[in-house]
Amino acid sequence: MFNTFFILVSTLLALATAYPSTPSTFYLVTTNQSAPTTNSSLLRAVSATSLFDPYYRPALAIRLTGPGYGSLPNFTLTDGTLHTTAAGPHGIGIYEYNSTAVVAGQELQFLASPQPVGGLALSGGYLLSVNGTTNGWTICVGELEQDVLEWMGTDASCNATYVHAVTAAPY
Ligand SMILES: *[C@@H]1O[C@H](CO)[C@@H](O)[C@H](O)[C@H]1NC(C)=O
Ligand SMILES: *[C@@H]1O[C@H](CO)[C@@H](O)[C@H](O)[C@H]1NC(C)=O
Ligand SMILES: *[C@@H]1O[C@H](CO)[C@@H](O)[C@H](O)[C@H]1NC(C)=O
Ligand SMILES: *[C@@H]1O[C@H](CO)[C@@H](O)[C@H](O)[C@H]1NC(C)=O
Ligand SMILES: *[C@@H]1O[C@H](CO)[C@@H](O)[C@H](O)[C@H]1NC(C)=O
Ligand SMILES: *[C@@H]1O[C@H](CO)[C@@H](O)[C@H](O)[C@H]1NC(C)=O
């Protein structure tokens, strides 16, 4: 009886260390490598991301953010939808923003309203996917010349990228 319990616990511990466990709260970073690293600073061509509110429109986008930021938004993922916390338009109020349905050729967007179940997931526990596809994210020049995250952007400015969920900021 004791042995069976011991074997079960050992097996669970081995499984837990063999695979990166999905963090419950994480940052999103872009990188041009799909394989995970234990230290997000070491991801190739890594960039931190933050929320972006061009012209005080209701929907927030995600833009690339270099060193020198004040803080980075964190995310959770439930029901195929990303959730984050941000101030409302003109900095008034704090809301839970939820990702909207992902559309090819458009920014990944967040609204401060309930959203239906989406197609987002963390493949392998870390790689952001849409309906199971991990390669389709692009960095495109968007409003105000910011580099924003789009799904399958087709604009000439767009470059392919991967989006990783990481527990520590890369810089
Ligand atoms: C991650 O890697 C960077 C760059 O090599 C290094 O400066 C940093 O100390 C590392 N962080 C940890 C937690 O090991
Ligand atoms: C990823 O970025 C690095 C550094 O910018 C570059 O050397 C490398 O060629 C890129 N790899 C791919 C597959 O784009
Ligand atoms: C996530 O971000 C929110 C809002 O900035 C903050 O209140 C919270 O402490 C953060 N949670 C974690 C686990 O970092
Ligand atoms: C993901 O799958 C759902 C359900 O089949 C579909 O409605 C949606 O358009 C798909 N999203 C993308 C970006 O392909
Ligand atoms: C975002 O979605 C959650 C449920 O997933 C909901 O509880 C929350 O109220 C939504 N945010 C807003 C501002 O409506
Ligand atoms: C796409 O990659 C090219 C070549 O590396 C670079 O000049 C351009 O700034 C990149 N575009 C974006 C939106 O990051």
| Longest distance between any two alpha carbons in the chain, whole Å | 65
Residue 54 lies in a domain: yes
Residue 105 lies in domain: 23-166
Residue 4 lies in a domain: no
Residue 104 lies in a domain: yes
Residue 68 lies in a domain: yes
Report the number of secondary-structure helices (H) and strands (E) in the chain. Answer: 1, 14
Whether ligand 6 lies within 6 angstroms of the CB of 45 is answered as: no
Residue 87 lies in a domain: yes
pLDDT tens over the chain, length 171 residues = 444 444 444 444 444 444 455 669 999 999 999 999 999 999 999 999 999 988 778 899 999 999 999 999 999 999 999 999 999 888 889 999 999 999 999 999 999 999 999 999 999 999 999 999 999 999 999 888 899 999 999 999 999 999 999 999 999
Question: What separation in angstroms does the CA of 131 have from each of 4, 13, 75, 77, 169?
Answer: 39, 30, 19, 14, 26
Tell me how many domains the chain contains: 1
Residue 5 lies in a domain: no
How far, in Å, is the centroid of ligand 6 from the Cα of 15? 39
User: Quick one: which atom of ligand 3 is closest to the CA of 71?
Assistant: 5
Residue 143 lies in a domain: yes
Residue 15 lies in a domain: no
The whole model's pTM is what? 0.88
